[in-house]
Amino acid sequence: MYIFIVNPASRSGHASQIWTEIETLLKERNILYRVYFTSHRGHGTKLAQQLTKDLSSRTTLIVVGGDGTVNEVLNGIEHPEHIILGYIPTGSGNDFAKGMALPSDPQKALELILSPNSYRTVDIGVLKYSEKDTEKIRKFAVSTGIGFDAAICHQALVSRLKVLLNRIHLGKLSYAFISLRELALHKPCRCRISFDNGTEVTFEKLHFAAVMNQPFEGGGFRFCPNAQNNDGKLDLCMIHDVSKIKLLFLMAIGLFGWHTSLKGVDTFRCKQVQIHTSAPMPVHADGESAFLQDAISVTCEQERLLMIAPQTT
């Protein structure tokens, strides 16, 4: 029995059509499955909680959606040791699928799940921040970040432009347009970053810090091109103390991972990091908003989830 959690709204509703095609294939082959559709933001977490809380044996749970849906499901899974995760990417960015080398074609992704020939364990990142004196915990599979990159994610979540561009299959371009708009509003901040090995760095003008579990975020930006999601570590890219024009330039070449040795860019690998900023900045986890924060802590949990995915090495 396969259990599917489908976000019919991902890629601005295109996922609904993709699910119809997948379901046709499942029925043609008499495959036993149950499907649950998300109906609103946060529903993926609730569904995953309900479906996994009483599990006592290995179950294949398949997410059909974008990075946001994977994130919601990840945050709801109660017994990761009993889950084999499958993923059919139907979002507009699909960074998690890229990092896992999954087929972008939904039918091929389904074939891989139905006839798995390899599995991979995936590290899970944990973001902590406080809200009204309560500690909030948000897990992530791809990345978390504070500053300009998170501001772009926040805007993408409510963007009409993304919806329009998704209709003509150019959804990824929306991030470029949103970046330009957000640049005008963006204010860098003083910040202090402390790593688990005792190293501490301070920057006068931090534009953003991306904490990555794997190489791609934001629809393909390779801010940490060497990040690996099974090494028990997180990779950080911090862009600081450069003009806004240079920030844009660094982001543009970040699409190819060519920015890392340039002035104004620092990278680091660690298991745990704490970031304090002089004023609240936007924070995201896998592109989903964690609102404005001035202090976050991020940790890597090693090899927490077993996933159907091709071996990359």
**Pair of tokens at residue 144:** 């978390």
| Residue 67 binding ligand ATP, by CB under 6 A | yes
Out of 39, 104, 130, 199, which residue is the one contacting ligand ATP (CB under 6 A)?
39
- Indicate whether 66 belongs to the interface with ligand ATP (CB under 6 A): yes
Confirm or reject binding of residue 46 to ligand ATP (CB under 6 A).
no
Asked if 94 is part of the footprint of ligand ATP (rule: CB under 6 A), the reply reads yes
Find the part of the chain contacting ligand ATP (CB under 6 A) among 9-17, 98-106, 115-123, 197-205. 9-17
For residue 262, give Cα distances in angstroms to 175, 200, 237, 250: 23, 20, 12, 8
Residue 41 sits in the site that holds ligand ATP (CB under 6 A): yes
Binding flags for ligand ATP, 175-214, as an x/- string (CB under 6 A): ----------------------------------------
Binding residues for ligand ATP, rule CB under 6 A, total 22
- Beta strand 134-140 pairing with 119-131: antiparallel
Which stretch in 1-9, 53-61, 134-142, 270-278 sits in contact with ligand ATP by CB under 6 A? 1-9
Asked if residue 91 binds ligand ATP (CB under 6 A), the reply is yes
Which of 287, 290, 293, 300 forms a contact with ligand ATP (CB under 6 A)? 287
Site for ligand ATP in 124-153 (CB under 6 A): none
Question: Would you count residue 75 as binding ligand ATP (CB under 6 A)?
Answer: no
- Please tell me the distance from the alpha carbon of residue 14 to that of residue 183, in angstroms, as a whole number: 29
Would you tell me which residues interact with ligand ATP (CB under 6 A)?
A: 7-11, 38-41, 43, 65-69, 72, 91-94, 287-288
